[in-house]
Structure 1
Amino acid sequence: MPKDDLVNVEGKISNLSGGGVYSITLENGLEISARLCGKMKRFKIKVVVGDRVTVGVSPYDPTHGLILHRHKF
């Protein structure tokens, strides 16, 4: 699925699970799991618990996402 088809939502990282999977609490209160996108891995952008991020969520499976952007303070 191309990144253009993903639904972009904002949230805050609440927990780091094993294997590079992050638990993210969205603005509407839902909890989803997400991984880093390829460009964030390529340029070694680090995300820690408490960071605000933009997550691309598939409309077919809204429980998993892809971290697309880390917001600066």
Structure 2
Amino acid sequence: MRNATVTTKNREVSKDVGIRVLGTVLESLPGNLFQVKLEENDYKVVAYLAGKLMQHRIWVLPGDQVTVELSPYDLTRGRIVWRNPGS
């Protein structure tokens, strides 16, 4: 996959850049969605499972610590990219 870029007046912004933060799953919502509380600022976001987690049948349950990738465009939605071991 190529790295798509958008050129603004004086800078290039990459579309593939995501903000990765740690969080704790609060509850499981319908439609393979999860409510996650971020550790850095105690915000609550709605996140879905990344394709690799679904492909390898990784279970994510309330109370698990996960790594969430947020889009720089909408900080209220994200994608769970990693379930931290030992949680």
The TM tier, using the shorter chain, reads over 0.9
Pairing 1:44-59 to 2, within 5 Å after superposition:
44-59=57-72
2: CA distance between counterparts of 1:7 and 1:32? 13
How many residues were matched structurally?
Answer: 71
Q: What 5-or-longer segments of structure 1 have no aligned partner?
A: none
Corresponding residue to 2:30 among 18, 40, 43: 18
Is 1:60 matched with 2:60?
no
Percent same amino acid among aligned pairs? 35
Quick one: distance in 1 between partners of 2:63 and 2:56? 21
The structure whose Rg is larger is: 2
- Return structure 1 stretches of 4+ with deviation > 3 angstroms: none
Structure 2 residue runs without a partner (length 5+): 1-14
- Give the residue type in structure 1 aligned to 2:19: V
Report the RMSD for the aligned CA atoms in angstroms: 0.8
Q: Which has the higher helix share?
A: 1
Which string of whole-angstrom CA distances, capped at 9 and with x for unpartnered residues, describes residues 10-42 of structure 1? Answer: 000001111111000001200000000000011
